[in-house]
Chain A
Amino acid sequence: MFYYLDQAATTALYPEALKAMMPYLTEAYGNPSSQHPKGQEAARALIMAREQAARALSVHPSEITFTGGGSESDNQALITGAHIGAQKGKRHLISTVMEHHAVLHSLRRLKEEGFEVTLLPISKDGFVSPESVKKALRPDTALVSVMAANNEIGTIQPIEAIGTLCHEKGVLFHTDAVQGAAHMDLDFTKGVIDMASFSAHKFHGPKGVGILYARQGIELESLIEGGAQERGKRAGTENIPAIVGMAAALEKAMQEKAAESARIRSLKERLRKKLLALKGVRQNGALSPSLPGTLNITFDSAPSEALLPLLGMDGICVSAGSACASGSPEPSHVLLALGLSAKQARSSIRFSLGADLDEKDIDTIAEIVIGHVTALRNLHHADQ
């Protein structure tokens, strides 16, 4: 028996997405660049998928570029934005301390190229303020990148206000929408978002595929040299099954968003109340506005490096912070930015709930978590 509360790490594939993919994993194996019927069959799938994804996001199909996932989209967006600015002599970039490493490490690389980077702080409840962006904007600012929702604490950022500020100053605005995509409203019609990154497996699509939205008029810089696929913005034969699956998943996710969000939020609230009833427990990041399913909790004196395996043995799948290459389980940079001590950050667990749970599951989960936290505390108490 498993309780999966790690939706922020990845999600299960929608059956509809799998069904849409199957023909392209089997008989419809053509290369969309080929001129023969098999190729045309694949080319058609690619066009349909692009239109389906564009409809789901209310954007134009030409604004959708398929990539190898969220990290690649982030990399390409930042490099594109920085280099467009540099052509006009603008070499200053603004982002926040709580971004995903795909953004932070791209910025580090751009810094090595000679760009100047300002990383804005976040408030104690996990928000970046439009005022701080306003203050940081300079005549030579090329790009601002602020995530739509944080992957570790779930707080939803005021990206519309920030995008508007950027546009008043003629500065490009990118948002990493990987976590937010399926759970919040993203409005591309107002034209304040220039680029946005998406990852299919966060909304019940397949892994290894994503979208980089780029507003018409923005010329993406290709990271991969080769053929002219994706209008020359990403070389390499298109991953047709994954792209088709992503489009199907995105459509369904957008349809179910409103109904599922409410249900998931009420489950989160139930879990939150039960866990906070324990002493020495604190919630990280504000509840509103936040993603419906993400709940980050610090359990004093219960190191997550011990709690995670213990919960895993009982079938509870959760994470301590983001699930990056587990070679480096360092305290979360997001929690540290909120002002937590390293010790507190290392005693924190991220629960990210999905629609597959019910209230009875939540009660069971809360009971197991509280049991392990209490046992760990007693053990440490006995040692002292």
Chain B
Amino acid sequence: MKALIAMSGGVDSSVAAKLMLDQGYECVGCTMKLYNNPDAGCSSKTCCSIRDVEDARSVAVRLGMPYFVFNYMDEFRRDVMETFARSYTLGKTPNPCIDCNKFLKFGALYERAKELGCDTIVTGHYARIRKRNGCYELLRAKDPKKDQSYVLYNLTQEQLAHTQFPLGDYEKTHTREIAEESGFINSHKPDSQDICFVPNGTYTEAVQRILSYEPQPGPFLTLDGKEIGTHKGIIYYTIGQHKKLGLPQPDGPLYVIAIDPKKNAVIVGPSQTLFRRDAAVKEANWISGKVPDAPFACLVKVRYRQEAQPAIVTPTGSDTFSILFDEPQRAITPGQSAVLYGLGDETDVVIGGGILQ
């Protein structure tokens, strides 16, 4: 059995590589080169990720596995960075990690694994895969603090059959212990925080750089359409935002309730107007590969760091569904993903997900 290990140079994928070796797999390590520094807004001409590549290579050498760097810069720009930036210009708040997993790690790299004769692709994600009744299931990680199943909901049955997440049963502290015991160069490397191609967290600069986009000032509108100020451009705002609005708020605090890209308007209102029970979802994926034939009850996350909330989900097409939450939810944000989990004994099981409209 041969496994292709996607190594970012971080501690998680390094330990994942070691665990696969320990299981007796023949392993090939690789790093995906996704962008250059100028793309990420760094001034240096050398590539941001050279340090990460060096770390990944060091671990691969220590583990005695062959190691390669694959260039996916064109694909990453097209399928992740530009989609991310365009989404902002349409008044949405995207999650590019989901696209990266869909198109790069479990798309292009999965194809590469096949080319290299590897039957398994391995990443350092904290999630689990289980086979039950002839069907593969995606499960939350054992460590709820690290669970990354939210960004993996696009996996198909075919991909799940050829994917392993060796860290799914591990706690992060345990992962670091293994890295230290193994003498890995990156055992103390901090976890990545920001989006990789937006290293300083300034999304608005990234959007302007990627698309050569000029933000256009426009009106702040109240819910009844009254203009009460001028905003800097819709990419500067997200649903639920309260700070940095620069508006007089004599009747209590105001929040961004909606963004209207056609009118180039940002709609603001009081806190209670942020709450909604319903949401519509597109570009859905069902882990089972089958669209459910009837409405069903489940738990739904509408952002990465959130407790899943009870709701009724109704499929409305081959890749669309609607959600009706039991309780109103604050700041359901277009562009983010809604991910569905089971009820009762099945709360760890990912049913599917899609992008909020």
Question: Which A residues are closer than 8 A to B by beta carbons?
Answer: 303, 305-306, 308-310, 312-313, 325-331, 342, 346, 376, 379, 383
Contacts and interface: CB of A to CB of B under 8 A. Distances in A.
A383 B115 CA distance: 11
Given A325-B50, A327-B47, A328-B47, A309 B71 contact: no
B70 A305 contact: yes
B61 interface: no
Given A305-B70, A327-B53, 19 more contacts: A303-B115, A305-B68, A305-B112, A306-B112, A306-B116, A309-B28, A309-B66, A310-B117, A327-B33, A327-B49, A327-B50, A328-B33, A328-B36, A329-B33, A329-B71, A330-B73, A376-B115, A379-B115, A383-B111
Interface string B68-89: 1111011000000000000000
A310 B116 CA distance: 6
A327 to B, nearest CB: 4
A334 B71 CA distance: 18
B28 A379 contact: no
A379 B68 contact: no
A383 B110 CA distance: 12
B114 interface: yes
Nearest to A310: B116
Contacts of B50: 325, 327-328
Given A309-B28, A342-B74, A329 B115 contact: no
Residue among A308, A309, A312 facing the most chain B CB atoms (10 A cut-off): A309
Task: Give chain B's interface residue range (CB within 8 Å of chain A).
Answer: 20 to 34
A312 B111 contact: no
Contacts of B114: 379
Contacts of B33: 327-329
A349 B54 CA distance: 24
B44 to A, nearest CB: 13
15 contacts: A305-B68, A305-B70, A306-B112, A309-B66, A309-B68, A310-B116, A326-B69, A327-B49, A328-B33, A328-B50, A328-B71, A329-B69, A330-B73, A376-B115, A379-B115
Nearest to A306: B115
Contacts of A329: 33, 69-71
A248 B66 CA distance: 35
A308 B71 CA distance: 13
Contact of A330 (B53, B68, B71): B71
A366 to B, nearest CB: 20
B185 to A, nearest CB: 16
Interface of A is mostly: helix
A383 B69 CA distance: 24
A310 to B, nearest CB: 6
Nearest to A302: B115
Contacts of B28: 309
A371 to B, nearest CB: 12
Nearest to B4: A309
A161 B117 CA distance: 50
Contacts of B53: 326-327
Contacts of A328: 33, 36, 47, 50, 71
A309 B74 contact: no
Nearest to A329: B71
A320 to B, nearest CB: 10
Nearest to A331: B71
Q: Which 4 A-B pairs have the closest CB atoms?
A: A306-B115, A327-B50, A327-B53, A329-B71
A376 B112 CA distance: 10
Nearest to A372: B115
Contacts of B73: 330
Interface in B146-188: none
A327 B115 contact: no
A309 B116 contact: yes
Contacts of B36: 328
B77 to A, nearest CB: 13
B40 to A, nearest CB: 14
A191 B54 CA distance: 45
A328 B33 CA distance: 7
A308 B112 CA distance: 12
A305 B112 CA distance: 9
Contacts of A327: 33, 47, 49-50, 53-54, 69
